[in-house]
A and B are shown apart, each in its own frame.
Chain A
Amino acid sequence: MDRASGRFCHMDTMTNWRERLIAKTTRPTLVTTYKYWLWLGFLIVIVGNGVFQYSKQWQNGLIVTDMRDRISWGLYISAFVFFIGISHAGTLISAILRVSKATWRAPITRVAEFITAVSLVVGAAFVLIDMGRPDRIFNVFRYGRWQSPIMWDVMAITTYLTASVIYLYAPMIPDLGLFRDRLVNKVGAIRNFLYRTLALNWYAAPPQVRFLGKAITIMMLIIMPIAVSVHTVVSWIFSMTLRAGWNTSIFGVLFVAGAIFSGVATLILVMAILRRIYHWEEYLTQKHFLYLGYLLAAFGAFMIYVNINEYLTEGFKIEEAGEFAFRQLFVEDFAVMFWFYIIGGLIGPIVLMLIPKTRTIAGVVVAAILVDIAMFLERYFIVVTGLRVPLMPYEPASYAPTFVEWSIFVAGLALFALLLTVAVKIFPMLAVWEMTEEHERRLAMGLGGEPHPLDDDGALSVATTNDGTGPERVDEGGAS
């Protein structure tokens, strides 16, 4: 067969390539510089301050925030929506690209899946933080009623968190097996134990490959509807009310599109940082950034469309309360945020990707930063402006987050970074087996080492990783 001969010809190159990849992947686990500890310490201080500020809130109640009866959701709920939003990075990149067999995804899936799991944990924490009586959290299960959209959210996020942990874990098992074998005498007892346990006796026996393939196939198919449902349900918390600005059927689309948009942006940022620190230039190439940049631009265009659709239909037949909502958003209190969101966050990435000079990694990173800031501001003004519209003829309330709120919000961002920082030291952040398999196929087909998205024979397969004599190719069989 062509493939067999191809593999034979490139065997030496392949082995070298793979050893280099393994060395690069295990490097964060083996080498820890003082800069890492400085960064870790910095994050711990910020998270610690957040915990300290939260202890004040725990003692005194929500009076330490600026949330009151009229504007009862603020920075915390904005952060919740934002973090649940960026959790969509993992789903999109990993599941959609895996199902559509876009092979260029291989080096970025693992990072994306970690972002999903970590941001879900941080996002869910903000719901607890927003509670005035966190001791009553179990009443959700004791007295919860399914007529309430809040309960739908509890359901959707629990499902998504469970599913995305499994979806993160399953494709990582072969790489954990690799780490178990390669790092046995190089890391401490705790991590050795962790690899032994998590690797599930993996050494690529045919039944193992088959079962793992089935698990991954089930999860990649099911996680897409779950992910879409999660952010739709988050939007329903708002749009299931009759408030001006929230009472719209387009919120589900706006939130899901915005979630993927900010998720891709966050993925770009995390990838750029890891690439720089651990010198993964060979694997995370300019092309990956550009593809993600194009995705960003495409979603920016879609967001512009959704926004025009929303504000034109609402604004054309404007109602009494809607007028107030429009004025505060377009020309008054929130105009700066809103127009930054439209111009900087939605149009900006498109412009950056259109101009050849900015069509670089740096340009994509700038676009990602703009998008993340803009999407956070969007979450914030959706939450606050909706509550600010008076339901009775009273003065519109004002809301400005207090120091406690800012501290906890920043601590949330730091916790997100902290969890990723710790994960980098323990888990394989590059999907070695998927990348190896991809590279092998390129060589077999007589192409360069660089995979191209347009040629793919479409087979879903799992490469073995433990024997060190070069990868075996085992077709998954049955599940694809």
Chain B
Amino acid sequence: MTGRRKHIAARICVSTLAISLALVVSAPAIAAEIGISVGAPVQVAIGQDVEVKAVLSQDGVPVEGAEVALTYQASWAGESSRVELATATTDEAGVAVMTYQQRADDNREMQVVYLGPDTEPVAPYVFTIAVEAGGEQLYVNQSGVEIPFVNGTLVILVIATVWFLIALAAVYLVRVGRAGRSLDAPIAEKGSMWISALLASAAVFTAIGMVIVFVRAPVSNTDVTDPDRYDRTPIVYLDGTYPYVGFGLQDESVAQTGDPVQDGSALYFKYGCAACHGIRGQGAAVGPTLRDELGSFGSFKEDVREGPRGMPGYEDVTISDENMQKIYQYLKDGG
């Protein structure tokens, strides 16, 4: 009996050891970080559909069912944030394919970031996709109804007809003068018909000028169909297809960096102060400047709470005293 017990005990020990050993050996493998590698084109043109492939693996094993996002850095008015271009889930080979249409004329610091399901932090894969200079303006005006034959050509025809008739009348006046010259007139000074010729040529000249202004008008300024004529500014084009994450201003943590000026900057945008007072507090069409005329914090606070003139008042449930202090610091700092 004792021998048999010992045998069982030994078996348990061995099993325990083996399990422990297995655990010890396999533990580093479980803790190993997910690696992201990305395949993407080096350079793309505006308007091009771009495919970005991300491969996720862990210790050489493909990671299936992981969610990843393709983002790039957008900035506006001194604020900067990541904009999500596409998301995808990896297949059994650990591959996630994301496509987006190139809209911005500059991709600042693209990343493929790991979104889940693990909560362990995963280092994003950082890369760049260069954008070719020039390219096509992607904005297309979709409002309005196109009616066949009712367009600019018709208007040009109407204007041309009117001016043709005006010029015709002026030409008839020239003929009045010519008819008089050919007759034997005692008093009339021969050949004095230049005034009507002047009138006629002025009418013709103005007519041609008007039609030219009309015809060349679309290319004279802000032509959205001709990229060479259109002075592109670095604009981020966003619409429903591309979820705009925003600058994250609703996130409380952006205003808790510890630097009151930095925090105030975020809060100044968050509460919409910039909409009326300008993006740096310099004042604009509606709101006065907040730079030079900024008094004490007390009077500042009183104004914000009450809302002088057309400005809405902000109660302390909206802007706490602490946050208002930060905005004040930001403005004191020069906006």
A211 touches B179 (CB 8 A): yes
A392 touches B173 (CB 8 A): no
Question: B286 on the interface (CB 8 Å rule)?
Answer: yes
The minimal Cβ–Cβ distance linking B230 to chain A, given in whole angstroms, is 13
Question: A205 on the interface (CB 8 Å rule)?
Answer: yes
Give Cα distance in the complex from A390 to B309, angstroms: 13
Question: A128 on the interface (CB 8 Å rule)?
Answer: no
A203 touches B213 (CB 8 A): no
Residues of B within 8 A of A212 (CB): 172-173, 176
The minimal Cβ–Cβ distance linking A422 to chain B, given in whole angstroms, is 18
Give Cα distance in the complex from A198 to B206, angstroms: 21
Per-residue CB proximity of A197-218 to B under 8 Å, as 1/0?
1111111010110011011101
A181 touches B202 (CB 8 A): no
A208 touches B179 (CB 8 A): yes
Residues of A within 8 A of B163 (CB): 159
Question: A460 on the interface (CB 8 Å rule)?
Answer: no
Q: List A119-155 residues whose CB lies under 8 Å from chain B.
A: 141-146, 151, 155
B165 touches A392 (CB 8 A): no
Which range contains the number of B residues in contact with the other chain?
Answer: 35 or more
Chain B facing A: main interface SS: helix
Task: Tell me which of A102-110, A166-174, A349-357 binds B.
Answer: A166-174
A158-B206, A203-B185, A211-B176 known; A219+B217 contact, CB < 8 A: no
B180 touches A201 (CB 8 A): yes
Residues of B within 8 A of A202 (CB): 176, 180, 188
Give Cα distance in the complex from A155 to B211, angstroms: 10
B173 touches A200 (CB 8 A): yes
A144 touches B217 (CB 8 A): yes
Question: A69 on the interface (CB 8 Å rule)?
Answer: yes
Give Cα distance in the complex from A336 to B195, angstroms: 50
Question: B83 on the interface (CB 8 Å rule)?
Answer: no
- Write the chain A residue with the least CB distance to B163: A159
Per-residue CB proximity of A439-480 to B under 8 Å, as 1/0?
000000000000000000000000000100000000000000
Question: B166 on the interface (CB 8 Å rule)?
Answer: yes
Residues of A within 8 A of B78 (CB): none
Question: A320 on the interface (CB 8 Å rule)?
Answer: no
Chain A facing B: main interface SS: helix
A184-B187, A211-B172 known; A200+B196 contact, CB < 8 A: yes
The minimal Cβ–Cβ distance linking A168 to chain B, given in whole angstroms, is 11
> Which residues on B are within 8 Å of A, measured CB to CB?
152, 155, 159, 162-163, 165-166, 168-170, 172-173, 175-177, 179-181, 183, 185, 187-190, 192-196, 199, 202-203, 206, 209-210, 213-214, 217-218, 220-222, 285-286, 309-310, 312
27 contacts between A and B (CB under 8 A): A144-B213, A145-B221, A155-B214, A166-B169, A166-B199, A177-B188, A181-B187, A184-B187, A197-B192, A200-B192, A201-B177, A201-B179, A201-B180, A201-B183, A201-B185, A201-B188, A201-B193, A203-B185, A208-B176, A208-B179, A214-B172, A215-B172, A215-B173, A215-B176, A216-B169, A218-B168, A393-B312
